Every structure is written in C-alpha cells, then in structure tokens.
Structure 1
Amino acid sequence: MSMQTGKQSICFETPPYIVSSASIVGKKEGEGPLGACFDLIGEDDKFGQDTWEEAESTLQKEAFGMAVGKAGLKKEEIRYLFSGDLLGQNIATSFGLMDYQVPLFGLYGACSTCGEALSLGAMCVAAGYADYVVAMTSSHFASAEKQFRFPLEYANQRPMSATWTVTGSGAYVLGKRKSNACITGITTGKIIDYGIKDSMNMGAAMAPAAADTICQNLKDFGRRPEDYDHIITGDLGSVGREILIDLLKKEGYDISEMHLDCGMLIYESKAQGTGAGGSGCGCSAVTLAGHFLKQVEQGKLQRILFVPTGALLSTVSFNEGKTVPGIAHGVVIEHAD
C-alpha cells in the first residue's frame, strides 16, 4: 500500500519514533510561562561567546549533544542531521555543528524549519535510509534583529503586530527504536502569498499558509479538527491566530477550540513586552520539545498536528519592495504505547 496520502501528505506505514528531544533557551524565554519546561536556560544570551551569531551556534551545538546524550547514543550513531536557522547561508548551523562531523542536510524554511526537519528526518527513517537522525533548528533574538530589522542600539519602536524572535534551539532524535511518541504522518506545505508587505507583521504573512496546510491535512487524512487534541501553529501570534481562524471557517473548519500557538504560549506578552507573541525557528522547536512532546509521551495528548509557520523574506527582497510569502509544514505526532 502506498504511503502517499491525498495531494500533499504521507501516512507512514511504520511510524518513526521520537526517541529523545532537547530544548535550550535564553533568559527571557526562561522567565516566561513555559520556563520550567525547558532543559537548559542560559543566564547570558551570548552563552559565553563574543558575538550573537556565535551564541546561536553554541545553542545548536549544545542542543544536539543533549538530545543525542538523552537517547543514550554516540554522535557516530547518527546517520544524518537535518538542521537550519534564519541567518544567511545557515551560519548558525554550519559553525555550530561542524565539529560533530555528522552528514548534514542544511535546511531553510524560515520559522517553519522545525517542521521541515522533522518531516524529512521522518521520511528518511521510515524509508530505511537511517536508523537514527537528528532534526533541529535555532533562532536568536539579537542575531535575527541584526540581520532582518535594525541593530539593537537603534532602539526602534515596535508596532503591536510585531513578534519577538525566540532565543532557543530544539533538537530531536528520530529513529526506529520504540518510544512513547511517534510521527505518523506529514503534510508538506506550499508557498502562499497574500501580498503582505509589512515585515513587522509576520502573523498576517504566515496565517494563509498555515490555513492552507491545515486544510489540506484534514482533507488528505479524511479528518475533522476534533480528531486532534490540539492543532498547534508555530508563531502566528495573536494577530495571525485571528486571521487563521477566519480563513479556516471559510473552508468549513472551526479550529478555535483546539488551536494553540507556540508564539502565544512562550511569553507573557504584556508583562514581557513581546508584542503579538514569539517567533523564530526556535519558537516552535523548543515549545514542542519542552511542553507538548512531554504531554504526548505521558499520554495526556493522544494526537496533535504540529504546524510550524515561516515567512519567506530576506533583507534584499524586502528592500526591493517584494511581498512576504509564507509556508507551513504539518507533522502528525501521536502517543505510542
């Protein structure tokens, strides 16, 4: 029987397991509502390095080592590594992980990279190409602001629609060895462009892509929203969530009761001054690893649809007046006895 399901999905005949995970965050994230969930909280957001970029590389290096260690494995037992970040040429990934000398697929899906990494890693294991792989990603508030917006010293005023890039890295070991959580299916997203040109409103840019992927997942698997305990988006924030709910209602799906957004959970937005919520590759990665995955492993959640969302822009495209397209990847994660 073919594992291809519907137009954009795969239903794994032999689901790969999430053997272990690790989450490392910065000081601000550790002070948020989910602070107690994370494996490691940095006291200094430079993590002992001289630059913000080196700090983000350190996040990835430590997250990889922690996830592999939790799995009781050695780095030599990891067949492939799927990872990426927000920085040009994926420098946080390449400089952070090169010392491990694990074969690497460098990825870029903007803030949806965690979903892309988990999808490709799961496909690799399910197809028999590897016994163990690591899927991971990272982001850093200061390195992202430096590249995409303004230097921190500029102290620019932020609109309420803006989100706060999470400083953090999440890593997952996927393999054939049984655990209490597995990836039973994926839905690969398309590039969706609604003509948004506001680089400070990522929620509006990404919500249409999230709606498209969620809608396609439900169609491909023949499910209704209530078939999931939660439908979890990556970093739409409060602005993007409203748009997502409205778009899906037009398609006949009401996900308002089971929808949660990682960007809205990781910070206490008013108290911490983070605007519409959290964003960045690390936002969904650490929230899944630190919060939701533990509930799946314990059986408190039986099935979730994890949908990290990404805004596909660069400083070049934005300065040339281009729009901000979005993309979202769906990963179905279920409890395994």
Structure 2
Amino acid sequence: MAEKKIGLQTVKFKNPPSIVSTASIVGPKEGEGPLREYFDLIISDDLYDEDSWEKAESKMAREAVRMALKKIGMTPDRVDYLFEGDLLNQITSSSFVARDLKIPFFGLYGACSTMTESLSLAAMITDGGYSDYAVAATSSHFSSAERQFRFPLELGTQRPPTAQWTVTGAGAAVVGRNGEGPYITYVTTGRVMDFGIKDANNMGAAMAPAAADTIIRHFKDTGFKPQDYDLIISGDLGQVGRQLTIDMVKENGYDISQNFTDCGIEIFDSDRQDVHAGASGCGCSAVVFCGYLYSQIKKGNIKRLLIMSTGALLSPTSTQQGESIPGIAHAVAIEGRI
C-alpha cells in the first residue's frame, strides 16, 4: 500500500523537501508589470541577443537554472535531476538546456501546468531518498508560442476578449532534502478534464474544469478548507477561468472567492497593459512563483500557499482536426515552516 498517499490523488510528504533557491527571468512586457521588482532579470528585448525566439527561450531557461544554483553556491554537476518542460514541439527549449548543463534530465510536457508538475516530481524523488538536489524549471515565450499554436505575429490577427497573453519568462526552483524552507508538504496530482471547449482563444474556460476538480480533490483528500491557506493561486486561468473555477468549486461546497487569484491576473496590469483576459504560458506560474510568491513566503507574508498550475493540452494538430481542448491542473502545498 502506498504509505505516503492520502485520499485518491494526494501525497503527504513525511520529510517535506525544502525549496532552497529560485530564480526568474522575464521579457520586457512582463518587466513593465506590477511584479517587476521581484524578478531576477528583465531582458531588454525578446530575442535576448539570440537570432530566434526559440533560442531566446532556451537561453532564459538555462540562465534561470544557473542563477538559482549560483545563489546557493552550487554548480550543475551537484544536481541529481532536472525536471523541465516548455510549450515548443518536442520540448526543445528544455532539451537544449539539459544538453548544455549536463544534468540527468526528465523532460516534461504538461502545457502550462508544467511548473507544478516539475515541482511535484522533484519533491517526490527527493522525499523518496533518490535525490539530494533536484531542479524544477519551465519556460515559455510569447512569440514562439504564438506562431506554433495560433498565427504568425506578422499576420496581425485580432485577439478576442477571452484571449490571454503568453508570458515570456523562465523560472527555476532548487528542491533539496535539507533546508530552512519553504517546504513542499502536499502534492495533489490532477486528472485530465474535458468539457468540450474548442476555442483556442479561450484557454481559461478550457482549463477551469481541471482546476476546479483538483482544488476539490485536494480539500477532500487532506481535510483542509479554503481558509486554511493564506493564498490559493492558479497558474494560467486569467479572468475568465478564475471566475468559472470559483463557481464550480462553490457548487461542491467550498468557497474560495476570498483568497483565490491567478498568476495570469497578477503578472500584468490589466488597465495599463493590453493582455485581454490575462496571461498564460508555462512561464507564467513559473516566474510568479519563483519571483514574487517565493519571496513572500520567505518574508513570512504568506505562511501556507496552494499553487496550482493549469494546462491546456492542445496541439496545432488536434486543433486543426477539430478536437476539443483537454485540461490538467496539479496543486502543490508550500509552507514557510513545519
């Protein structure tokens, strides 16, 4: 019997791993938003001195990992495993990071849920005694994602109000067996949910069912209530998905309206920056967590956090073939002290 599993989908760690360091790198637009002071590096242009957006994304991801390690005096050769993913075909950004850093590598694809997917697996392997240090990382780039999933930027396609802005950014977190916190205490692994949404410009509606399902399951498995958390935050739901999630969770007896927000809402100023329904992308929850949220936990402003990155599991092929958009969400509970 799985001794560390509680309920149907949740793991409770007996020796909670510590997040010993984080780093975040963002693009110029993200650097103009309300969280700019919490990012380690704001690049001056989307190409980051490279000759393609895809190369720029991989460079951000690589440098975020190096930066997180440098903060604690570590080099890549001391890392046991790298868990990383991105949005590009065959997760090429992450694969080239692993090539350059030469860390044993698990490549992940969970769409925009990848940051908490990587944190979940890094925590599990560390708590299990298979690793002293593991790195969880992910990245996205507005321009590379747009031309892969939607339309070339040069086409100037009009974006509907439900559309979200893919974050240009990369985040990395070093998870260790020992440390002074914050600590990963619970992980609730999500199920793939599909309510038949086919509009690729309405990611919030496509992901909301998975977000609601994971939040409800986390509460049922752990016995926690919404008020047990200082903050519950999703990754990429935006304005539309956040409200849908609140409504669906409330129908199941939990009111999260008072302490639930979304990284895609927090990273941009909706009044000043034209992002429509908010932000999305693998890098969205990665940079908000590795920048802003991590600092707030370290300062004691957030004592218990539930972060849940949400992903829309579509591809250009599935969209072109008229398929609906499945969603996934993974939740990670993080506490400043245990």
Give the TM-score range, shorter chain.
over 0.9
Give the TM-score normalised by structure 2: 0.98
Q: CA deviation at 1:279?
A: 0.3
Match of 2:18 in 1: 17
Between the aligned partners of 2:260 and 2:143, the Cα distance in structure 1 is 29
Between the aligned partners of 1:178 and 1:51, the Cα distance in structure 2 is 38
Match of 2:87 in 1: 86
Q: Secondary structure at the match of 1:310?
A: strand
Q: CA deviation at 1:272?
A: 1.1
Q: CA deviation at 1:311?
A: 0.1
One-letter code of the match for 1:51?
Answer: S
Q: Secondary structure at the match of 1:122?
A: helix
Between the aligned partners of 1:61 and 1:196, the Cα distance in structure 2 is 34
Match of 2:151 in 1: 150
Match of 1:166 in 2: 167
Deviations along 1:171-207, whole A, 9 cap, x unmatched? Answer: 0000012123010010000000000000000000001
Q: Secondary structure at the match of 2:272?
A: helix
Between the aligned partners of 2:260 and 2:318, the Cα distance in structure 1 is 32
Maintained 8 Å contact 2:98/2:104: no
Match of 1:326 in 2: 327
Between the aligned partners of 1:90 and 1:237, the Cα distance in structure 2 is 24
Match of 1:67 in 2: 68
One-letter code of the match for 2:168?
Answer: T
Find out whether 1:316 has 2:317 as its counterpart: yes
Between the aligned partners of 1:167 and 1:296, the Cα distance in structure 2 is 24
Q: Secondary structure at the match of 2:246?
A: helix
Between the aligned partners of 2:34 and 2:23, the Cα distance in structure 1 is 18
Q: Secondary structure at the match of 2:198?
A: coil
Between the aligned partners of 1:278 and 1:253, the Cα distance in structure 2 is 26
Between the aligned partners of 2:269 and 2:224, the Cα distance in structure 1 is 33
Maintained 8 Å contact 1:60/1:97: no
Q: CA deviation at 1:90?
A: 0.4
Identity %: 55
Match of 1:45 in 2: 46
Maintained 8 Å contact 2:86/2:139: yes
Between the aligned partners of 1:116 and 1:40, the Cα distance in structure 2 is 24
Find out whether 1:113 has 2:114 as its counterpart: yes
Please identify, of 291-300 and 114-123, the stretch whose mean Cα deviation from structure 2 is larger. 291-300
One-letter code of the match for 2:133?
Answer: Y
Moved over 3 A (4+): none
Match of 1:132 in 2: 133
Match of 1:226 in 2: 227
Match of 2:124 in 1: 123
One-letter code of the match for 2:277?
Answer: A
Between the aligned partners of 1:49 and 1:324, the Cα distance in structure 2 is 33
One-letter code of the match for 1:55?
Answer: A
One-letter code of the match for 1:187?
Answer: T
Please identify, of 295-304 and 276-285, the stretch whose mean Cα deviation from structure 2 is larger. 295-304
Q: Secondary structure at the match of 1:269?
A: coil
Q: Secondary structure at the match of 2:200?
A: coil
Between the aligned partners of 2:29 and 2:74, the Cα distance in structure 1 is 31
One-letter code of the match for 2:323?
Answer: K
Maintained 8 Å contact 1:71/1:173: no
Q: CA deviation at 1:96?
A: 2.8
Q: Secondary structure at the match of 2:151?
A: coil
Between the aligned partners of 1:318 and 1:142, the Cα distance in structure 2 is 19
Q: CA deviation at 1:208?
A: 0.6
Q: Secondary structure at the match of 2:110?
A: coil
One-letter code of the match for 1:116?
Answer: E
Q: CA deviation at 1:238?
A: 0.4
One-letter code of the match for 1:25?
Answer: V
Maintained 8 Å contact 2:82/2:98: no
Maintained 8 Å contact 1:18/1:173: yes
Give the TM-score normalised by structure 1: 0.99
Q: Secondary structure at the match of 1:329?
A: strand
Measured on the aligned residues, the alpha-carbon RMSD in Å equals 0.9
